[in-house]
Structure 1
Amino acid sequence: MRYRRFGKTEMLLSVFSLGAMRYLESAENAHKTILRALEVGINHIETAQGYGKSEEFIGKAMQNGLKARRDRFYLTTKISPTKDADSMRRQIEQSLKRMNVDYIDNFDIHGINLYEHLELVKNPQGCMKAVREAIDQKIIGHVGFSTHAPLEVILDTIETDLFESVNLHYYYFNQRNAPAVQLAHEKDMGVFIISPSDKGGMLYNPSEELTGVSYPFTALYMGDRFLLSDPRVHTLSLGAANPAEIDSHQDAWDHDEPMSELEQAVLDCMNRRYSFLENDLCSQCYKCLPCPEGINIPEVLRLRNLAIGFDMVEFGKYRYKMFENAGHWFPGNKAIRCTDCGDCLPRCPENLDIPRLLRDTHDRLSGQEGKRLWE
């Protein structure tokens, strides 16, 4: 296992962190998953107050012997922004009690996804007042934020200089947030990548095309190496549902050096797959927005890019069904809402027939409705 300095926090984190959203089966399973993570060298457990019984299960593991090993790992929990300091104080106390700990190494404001969330944390008498008090009391070591926001919101949140780290989406198959990674790097912030194996493309269950183009490596390995070869990235979430899933990343966790010639050649081959879209490739410039019908056009067309270029249809269906079902965590209406108004067409530098492509995406990817995992 490799370790990297988590920005200005000075915490030396393993390049994989145990994301605790998925081991919700039982307290016993959670404990075994944590122990396996520690055994392979993972030294960071990351959860959230909103992750079902995750904090409670961590607390039971603490009672059953994990507390004796508390100096071997860092613990992060996340709480959504609140309108007032008292609410945040109560919730911090609740998290400490549930996890059976008296301090949190790293604390994140969970889900700064909208400008109204950013305004809550910028209020000097709001939730951040309670967070600063907790830092002064040594209850919290460091403070960061997690986000599923549009790039502009992420950049503006980083620019507040209120935070030491950021949890965000950034993958080979979705590089929209590259400017945020760079700005965080310039400010010496820790950079934590959310769900690279799942939201990054369901790389644990790749299509035959993605498997083939990744050879002689796996799609999962290439996704990990794309990130770990970047020194601006410090740790990746490994959201294991059980102990066995920890080892799926073993090939990558000892490799954080620049990409080898062979790895780069595979990446170049992957890049060429987009040629399959010919004149229908969406370059993700985002100039088509805003859409009068609230369709997240670039994200819809990104899923189409992947469905055609890499036959990532199952991943596309998985993400597409979240539209209209996940609120500000995954905003946007389904493509079927397009009214052919043409508002987006003059702004598209590729002159794409966007209404046609939206309908095509809906036909390819529409299916059963979905919700976020812990809902």
Structure 2
Amino acid sequence: MHYRRFGQTNLQLSAFSLGTMRYLASEPEAIQVIRQAIELGINHIETARGYGNSEQFLGKALRAGLPLPRQQLYLTTKIPPMPDRAAMAACIDESLDRLGVDYLDCFAIHGLNTWEQLRWIEDPNGCMVAVQQAKAAGKIRHIGFSTHAPLEIILQAISTEQFEFVNLHYYLFNQRNRPAVELAQSKDMGVFIISPADKGGMLFTPPPTLQTLCQPFTPLELNYRFLLSDPGITTLSFGAAHPAELDQILSIADRNDALTSEEQRAIDRLILHQKAALGTDRCSQCFQCLPCPEAINIPEVLRLRNLAVAYDMTAFGQYRYRMFENAGHWFPGRKANRCTDCGDCLPRCPEQLEIPKLLRDTHDRLNGASRRRLWG
């Protein structure tokens, strides 16, 4: 396992962190996952108040004894932003109690996703007062935030200078947040990548077309290497529901080198294939089509179409598309069938895409039974 400096926190974190959102089984199995992760070299475990019984399970594992001393095991929990600092203080104490620890190595505002939530963070009398008081009292050592927000909100949150690290979405198949990664790096913030296997494209179960294009690598391996070849990215979340799943990171976890020429050729091949497969229907993700009068998240809808058409990533597209209108600020936007053909977006599209037509096509391809977030 390779270890990297987590920005200005100066913590040396394992290249993979154990994310605990997928604790769906029993308490004994959760404890087995934690123990196995530590035995493989993972020294950072990330949980959240909103992840079901995750904090309690992790607390039980800590009390049962783990193969790493507490001072060498780094714990992060996350609590949503809120306008009330007293409520935040109570939530911090409750999380500490659930975990059975005196302090958190890292604490993150969980889901800093909207402009309203950012105003709560910037309020000099708001919830961050409680967070800073907890830090002064030794209950918290380092402060960051996680986000599913539009890029503009992420950049503003980073620029508040209140945070030492950021947890965000950034993948080989979705590079929209590259400016946020670069801004965080310029401020010496630790960068934690959220769910690169699942949100990064359901890469545990890639379609045959994608597998062929990525050879001799697996799509998951190529995504991990794309991320870990960037020295400014500290750690990648790995969520395991069963101990055996942890074996999937062994071939990558000890690598710290730049992309090889063969890896870069595979990435270039993906780009060229997408351009050829989509032709003049390819959305370049410039975001100039927004805002949409019907609140359709046009770029994300068309990104999912890009992936479905070019790489046969239809299952992933369905998984994400069906969360529209069901996940609130965690995945904002309305479904593509809300389009009224108003044409407002058309003159702003530099590719001159027939956006209403492509929206309808995406809806036909990807719509189905609605989905919610795991802990929605």
- TM-score > 0.5 by shorter chain: yes
The answer to whether the 8 A contact 1:23-1:33 is kept is no
Query: For 1:291 and 1:239, how far apart are their aligned partners in 2?
Result: 34
Deviation at 1:68, TM superposition (A): 7.2
Task: Give 5+ residue unaligned stretches, structure 1.
Answer: none
Deviation at 1:261, TM superposition (A): 1.1
1:136-163 Cα distance to aligned partner (Å, 9 max, x none): 1111010000000000000000000000
Matches within 5 A, 1:10-21: 10-21=10-21
Deviation at 1:71, TM superposition (A): 2.3
The answer to whether the 8 A contact 1:326-1:372 is kept is yes
1:11-31 Cα distance to aligned partner (Å, 9 max, x none): 000010000100231111111
Query: For 2:5 and 2:62, how far apart are their aligned partners in 1?
Result: 26
Query: For 1:95 and 1:67, how far apart are their aligned partners in 2?
Result: 23
The answer to whether the 8 A contact 1:220-1:249 is kept is no
Q: Does 2:61 correspond to 1:38?
A: no
Deviation at 1:69, TM superposition (A): 2.9
Matches within 5 A, 1:1-375: 1-66=1-66, 69-274=69-274, 275-375=276-376
TM-score where L is the length of structure 1: 0.99
Which sits farther off after the overlay, 79-88 or 180-189?
A: 79-88
Deviation at 1:338, TM superposition (A): 0.5
1:218-261 Cα distance to aligned partner (Å, 9 max, x none): 11100100000011111000011111111112111111210111
Query: For 1:100 and 1:114, how far apart are their aligned partners in 2?
Result: 32
Aligned pair count reads 375
Query: For 2:122 and 2:222, how far apart are their aligned partners in 1?
Result: 38
Q: Secondary structure at the match of 2:141?
A: strand
Query: For 1:268 and 1:254, how far apart are their aligned partners in 2?
Result: 24
Which amino acid letter does the alignment assign opposite residue 201 of structure 2? G
Query: For 2:106 and 2:165, how far apart are their aligned partners in 1?
Result: 9
The answer to whether the 8 A contact 1:14-1:42 is kept is yes
* Alignment RMSD (CA, Å): 1.0
The answer to whether the 8 A contact 1:147-1:168 is kept is yes
Deviation at 1:123, TM superposition (A): 1.1
Which amino acid letter does the alignment assign opposite residue 109 of structure 2? I
Query: For 1:53 and 1:282, how far apart are their aligned partners in 2?
Result: 40
Deviation at 1:126, TM superposition (A): 1.1
Which amino acid letter does the alignment assign opposite residue 279 of structure 1? T
Query: For 2:113 and 2:350, how far apart are their aligned partners in 1?
Result: 28
TM-score where L is the length of structure 2: 0.98
Query: For 1:327 and 1:71, how far apart are their aligned partners in 2?
Result: 38
Query: For 2:207 and 2:24, how far apart are their aligned partners in 1?
Result: 27
Query: For 1:338 and 1:222, how far apart are their aligned partners in 2?
Result: 36
Q: Secondary structure at the match of 1:143?
A: strand
Deviation at 1:66, TM superposition (A): 3.4
The answer to whether the 8 A contact 2:38-2:68 is kept is no
Percent of aligned pairs with the same amino acid:
60
Q: Secondary structure at the match of 1:102?
A: coil
Task: Give 5+ residue unaligned stretches, structure 2.
Answer: none
